[in-house]
Amino acid sequence: MPKRFRLTRRFPVAMTEDGYRRLRSFASEAGLDEGEALSFLFENFNSVIDPENLGHRLRLFNSDLENRKK
- Asked if 15 and 23 count as a contact pair (C-beta separation under 8 A), the reply is yes
Instruction: Compute the distance between CA of residue 65 and CA of residue 68 in angstroms, rounded to an integer.
Output: 5
Instruction: Compute the distance between CA of residue 36 and CA of residue 43 in angstroms, rounded to an integer.
Output: 10
- Asked if 34 and 27 count as a contact pair (C-beta separation under 8 A), the reply is yes
- The model's pTM is 0.76
According to the model, what pLDDT value does residue 1 have? 55
Residue 31 has pLDDT above 60, yes or no: yes
